[in-house]
Amino acid sequence: MSYCLNPDCPQPKNPLHVTSCQACGHPIMLRNRYRVLKTLGQGGFGATFLARDESLPGNPSCVIKQLRPATTTSQVLEMAQKLFEREARTLGKIGNHPQVPRLLDFFQDNQQFYLVQEYISGLTLQQEIRQCGPLSEAGVKQFLSEVLPLIKYIHSQEVIHRDIKPANLIRREQDRKLVLIDFGAVKDEVNQAAVASTSDQTALTNFAIGTPGFAPPEQMALRPVYASDIYALGVTSVYLLTGKSPKDLDYNPSTGEMVWRKSVQVSDHFATVLKKMLEASVRHRYQTAEEILRALDLEPYFDSLVQGMAMPTSGLSNTNTNGNSTEVQEVDSPSSPSSPSSATQKLAAAIRKRRERRERSRPGSPNTMGNSNPRSQFISRSVTEIHTGNIPSSQSFATSRPKKLDANGVLTAYMKGRRDFASHDLSGLDLQKSDLSGGIFYQSKLTRINLQGADLSSADFGQASLTRANLRDANLGRAYLSNSDLEGADLRGADLSFAYLNHANLKGANLCGANLANAKITEEQLALAKTNWATIMPNGKRGLWS
């Protein structure tokens, strides 16, 4: 089907290959290039459409946004045009980030303004929750670990999104990464004089924009700040935990704050972090994404996140403003500059230094003891978490585990978009050659599970029991396996490149032929496992690590 973009057309739907609208005679092809296929949505200032670019091989899909305000008064039209141009300018500035749609075109045609951007195929978080139900604490932590570095990047570009919510976060089908869309409400001209004169970092704007319930008080009062996005991210986290939008939650009549704690089962520490994200007063709220990362102790995720999201991967080339091709280095490549250049790189470097200091000071670490026992460290850390109340799971050890799923149940749930299998008992299931990439199996029981040849890249197996598991030839690239129990697991030929294995128990694990390039693992851990000449060590060499 072809769709007519004439706002006054009485019947915009047309057969696929027509060149003019059969109802109003308006040209179907936009700029003799874009064919609109269907409408995607209508907002206060514009309408969005799915289209295809027929000037390129393969006719790739794209999204076209047309400036179409609900009313055409001069004031509203001027406001809409400013926001439209601001969105295009913002996407042009930050759209090179893999979690932001790229700006493809921006033009005026037949007295109408159009913005063309990359089409992101996938479900929004709102659709995922409606289909699969709320997430656990571990699932929301995984969400934050993926989105916070993106928010850090956006703010480093002096941009306030102002409309973060589940409906504006799409999980891209190709790689399961979250993509933030709809930059139509952004604030990209932060008033530096105002910032300097107030402790709340106030940035003035002419329009109160945002979604009620997700936007904080200062934003609705025309004074958005960077921390306004932190508040919206906190409300989004509550939605993911409860499955309820802000209007469906109770409010404290004295303070106006949402009453959400009684609706979820989370650790006291995580509840405290969310409470600070949701502070009505900007002074008492987290000011930066970096502060939340530190509070949640999400550093173990950050190395892979910063490599995968902050910059293009090594070996790719970008074109600068002069048209010259310049090589882009990976964040942690040996040839990277010694002084990190981007805000995200600086954050990653600071986090790594902090983690290294903590590792050196931990009793029993390789720097303080000749032979450290990963299993003892695993037990010690778990005991510490119990005593401090900082248990990074959605359920305490006293809480019963969810009902055990069968193999078909796991695969069906995954196909429908579910990624959170934290604290489940999946022992003995046959899931060989399954695609479970990005799955969350935090504290799950996976004893003797068959995952041979499965795609488990970027999955979270923190504190999971994988004893005697069949992981032969599995893809565990960038997987998080900290404090997991892999005793006797078969990992022959498995890809563990860039995996995080600190404090994992590898006693009797078979790593013959496994790829451990750039993995976070100690020599003491490897001494407990079986390796051979075909094992690729963290330094990239086969069969030896020196």
**Domain limits, the chain:** 2-118, 122-301, 388-546
| Per-residue pLDDT tens over the stretch 189-206 | 554 333 333 333 333 344
Residue 529: exposure state from Cβ atoms within 10 A (0-12, 13-18, ≥19): buried
Sequence-distant (≥ 6) Cβ neighbours of residue 76 within 8 angstroms: 69, 70
483 CB contacts (<8 Å, ≥6 apart)?
Answer: 377, 378, 381, 382, 462, 463, 503, 504
User: Contact at 8 Å (CB) between 100 and 120?
Assistant: no
Tens of pLDDT, residues 333-387: 333 333 444 444 555 566 566 656 655 555 444 444 434 333 333 333 333 333 3
Residue 212: band (very low, low, confident or very high) from pLDDT cuts 50, 70, 90: confident
Strands 13-14 and 112-118: unpaired
Distance separating alpha carbons of residues 300 and 351, to the nearest angstrom: 9
From 8, 105, 109, 163, active-site residue: 163
Is pLDDT of 101 > 60?
yes
496: tokens are 């563990």
**Collapsing DSSP states into helix, strand and coil, what is residue 539?**
coil
- Residue of 539, 533, 482 whose CA lies nearest to 516: 539
Average pLDDT score over the chain? 78
Residue 495 is a catalytic residue: no
Q: Which CATH class is domain 388-546?
A: mainly beta
Is the pLDDT score of 176 beyond 80? Answer: yes
Confidence at residue 71, expressed as pLDDT on a 0 to 100 scale? 63
H helices present in 176-283, as ranges: 192-196, 217-220, 226-242, 268-277
- Contact of 187 with 159, CB cutoff 8 Å: yes
> For a pLDDT cut of 90, what percent of the chain falls above it?
40
CA distance 51 to 30: 10
pLDDT at position 94 is: 82
pLDDT category at 79 given cuts 50, 70, 90 is confident
What is the pLDDT, as a whole number, of residue 540?
Answer: 87
How far is residue 287's CA from residue 201's CA, in Å, rounded to a whole number?
Answer: 10
> What local confidence, expressed as pLDDT, does residue 187 receive?
64
pTM, whole model, 2 decimals? 0.58
Q: How far apart are CA 25 and CA 19, in angstroms?
A: 9
Q: What does the pLDDT look like over 22-34, one tens digit per residue?
A: 999 999 999 889 9
Q: What is the C-alpha separation between 3 and 439, in angstroms, rounded? A: 38
Annotated binding site for ATP: 65
Amino acid at 213: G
Residue with tokens 């002074």: 283
Judge contact between 174 and 182, C-beta under 8 A: no
**What tokens were used for 328?**
């882009």
Q: Does domain 122-301 have CATH number 3.40.50.300?
A: no
CA-closest candidate to residue 426, choices 452, 404, 441:
404
CA R_g for the chain: 25
Residue 117 near residue 51, CB atoms below 8 Å: no
- Take residue 214 and report the two structure tokens written for it: 């997700």
Q: Which fold has domain 2-118?
A: Phosphorylase Kinase; domain 1 (3.30.200)
In whole angstroms, give the CA distance from residue 405 to residue 101.
36
Q: Is the Cβ–Cβ distance between 404 and 425 less than 8 Å?
A: yes
